[in-house]
Chains A and B, each alone.
Chain A
Amino acid sequence: MEFDERTEKCREVFSLLSEYLNLELPTGACQEIETHLAGCPPCIEFAESLRKTVELCRRYRPRELPEPLEKNARQQLLDAYQRMLGARKDPSQLNR
């Protein structure tokens, strides 16, 4: 059986799940979804899998790190930083 047989409400919930999980829906719409979820196990199961997906993304910390910063590259950044600090102390530099 295909998903077409699911009710319109299931489809609507499906399309709003991220906004629901993000708490971005108006109170009324949010309550409607909760009412539907309470009586629809497939939707609640799906919602839970999406919630865990988001949780995984939030906790994801990459294994790949940049190579250690080279001396020259650090110096380049430090120079830019110090120029910025100097400009702030000297108001005539600010409006360059």
Chain B
Amino acid sequence: MERDTEVKLARQLIAGEPEAFDRFVEHFRAKIFHYSWLMCGQREDAEEVAQETLLKVFESFAHLREPERVRPWVFRIAKNACLMKRRKSVFAPSQELSLDEFLPAMNHEGGHATIQIADWSRLPDRQMLQSEMKEVLARAIRELPENYRAVILLRDMEELSTLETAQILDLTEDVVKTRLHRARLAVRQELDEYLRTDSRVLPSRT
């Protein structure tokens, strides 16, 4: 669902239109479930977070002054509900990723420099949705330290803006930008390794 459809739905919900309730619940429940599943790692936790978030959303709907902001507003509530669930991992150190670990190796043979990465130009658009690729992507995201994972989920998967993401996570916009870049580089590296080793996906470079 596009953001403007979502905004329309929020307006219908506020106006008390009968069909809006179930559509809103179905749409956001799946979204929150997905976010919390990738954040908490447990299906049961993710289901609970979705329910708790939606309950809070309805209880405080009167505070949603701008329906345009419904998506970031729901995710702000979801992020807090998700934090409450993470008691177990709360003491896990939040690891920092450095840029240098993602610099690709260079090859200077034959007079001109090349980088040692997979041949991404051979990755056709339709293959980008292939299910094995999806698994690799989901795993790469789950393996990110959580302060990076939250940023890439909100920015790239939920397509929230830098400012909205900063507000949801209580970060500055600069920190969001830095973390997003490193998260993308880490995910890129995982996909790259997969593309290089799996000859069924991409024939190796000649």
Instruction: State the A residues within 8 Å of B (CB).
Output: 1-3, 5-6, 11, 14-15, 17-19, 22, 24, 41-42, 45-46, 48-50, 52-60, 62-67, 69, 73-74, 76-78, 80-81, 83-85, 87-88, 94
List residues of chain B with CB within 8 A of the CB of A84. Answer: 58-59, 61-62
Instruction: State the B residues within 8 Å of A (CB).
Output: 13-14, 16, 21, 25-26, 29-30, 33-34, 37-38, 43, 46-47, 50-51, 54-55, 58-59, 61-62, 99, 103-108, 112-115, 117-118, 120-121, 123, 128-129, 131, 133-134, 137-138, 141, 152, 156-157, 159, 162, 177, 180-181, 184-185, 187-188, 191-192
Whether B105 lies near A3 (C-beta < 8 A) is yes
Whether B107 lies near A1 (C-beta < 8 A) is yes
Whether A6 lies near B106 (C-beta < 8 A) is yes
- A74 and B25 in contact (CB under 8 A), knowing A19-B177, A62-B34, A81-B58? yes
Please classify the interface of chain B as helix (H, G, I), strand (E, B), loop, or mixed, using the class held by over half of its residues.
Answer: helix
Whether A87 lies near B62 (C-beta < 8 A) is yes
Q: Which residue of chain B is the closest to A74 with respect to CB atoms?
A: B25
Complex partner residue of A49 from B51, B106, B120, CB under 8 angstroms: B120
- A45 and B157 in contact (CB under 8 A), knowing A3-B103, A3-B104, A59-B129? no
Beyond known contacts A3-B104, A53-B187, A73-B51: 13 more, CB 8 A cutoff = A42-B106, A45-B117, A48-B121, A49-B118, A53-B188, A57-B184, A62-B37, A64-B37, A66-B46, A66-B47, A80-B58, A83-B59, A84-B59
Whether B55 lies near A80 (C-beta < 8 A) is yes
Q: Report the Cα distance A85→B25, complex, angstroms.
A: 16
Whether A78 lies near B46 (C-beta < 8 A) is no
Whether B177 lies near A18 (C-beta < 8 A) is yes
List residues of chain B with CB within 8 A of the CB of A48. Answer: 120-121
Most buried by A among B118, B156, B157: B156
Q: Report the Cα distance A56→B138, complex, angstroms.
A: 11
Q: Report the Cα distance A16→B43, complex, angstroms.
A: 36
Whether A42 lies near B177 (C-beta < 8 A) is no
Q: Report the Cα distance A55→B112, complex, angstroms.
A: 29
Whether A49 lies near B117 (C-beta < 8 A) is yes
**What would 8 A/B residue contacts be, using CB atoms closer than 8 Å?**
A3-B106, A11-B103, A17-B181, A42-B113, A48-B120, A53-B187, A60-B134, A84-B62
